[in-house]
């Protein structure tokens, strides 16, 4: 889940809100996790998606597919095991991916935002 942690932190640094991560392996099969975040305006959605892609690429995670960056309303980033959805609030409210994938277990993301110095440890 280190790719997810990198994506969550990159999104947070660009002001993304309402992060939700879902473990989709059982229901989707083509990825392990979805990360869904929201940007405040189109430029923010683009900045968040760029930051996530830049950080993951810098760590050697290849972008398999990218869609929607030009409009800045819903950007989909496919990194293979991780698929990131960066939404404008109106699109997130309309498409309600969390509701569509409600049978998937949530992945706790708050601990991923903890400063690296605290060890980032969590009990499961």
**Rounded mean pLDDT, 97-102:** 94
The answer to whether residues 79 and 3 touch, using CB atoms and an 8 Å cutoff, is: yes
How confident is the model at residue 115, as a pLDDT?
Answer: 67
Percent of the chain with pLDDT over 70: 90
- Tens digit of each residue's pLDDT (9 = 90 or more) over 21-70: 999 999 998 999 999 999 999 999 999 999 999 999 999 999 999 999 88
- For 111-120, what is each residue's pLDDT tens digit? 898 765 544 4
- Name the nearest CA neighbour of 109 among 98, 95, 100: 98
Burial of 55 (0-12, 13-18, 19+ CB in 10 A): middle
pTM: 0.89
- Average model confidence (pLDDT) across the chain: 91
What pLDDT, on a 0 to 100 scale, did the predictor assign at position 80? 95
Among 84, 83, 82, smallest CA distance to 39 is for: 84
Domains of the chain from N-terminus onward: 2-114 (3.30.460.10)
Number of other residues whose CB lies within 10 A of the CB of residue 111: 13
């Amino acid at each position: 889940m280190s790719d997810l942690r990198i994506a969550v932190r990159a999104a947070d640094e660009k002001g993304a809100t309402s992060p939700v991560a879902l473990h989709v392996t059982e229901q989707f099969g083509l990825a392990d996790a979805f990360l869904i975040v929201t940007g405040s305006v189109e430029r923010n959605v683009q900045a968040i998606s760029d930051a996530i892609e830049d950080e993951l690429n810098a760590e050697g995670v290849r972008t398999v597919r990218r869609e929607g960056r030009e409009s800045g309303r819903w950007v989909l980033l496919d990194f293979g095991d991780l698929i990131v959805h960066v939404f404008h609030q109106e699109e997130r409210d309309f498409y309600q991916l969390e509701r569509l994938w409600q049978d998937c277990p949530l992945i706790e993301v708050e601990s991923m935002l903890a400063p690296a110095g605290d060890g980032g440890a969590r009990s499961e």
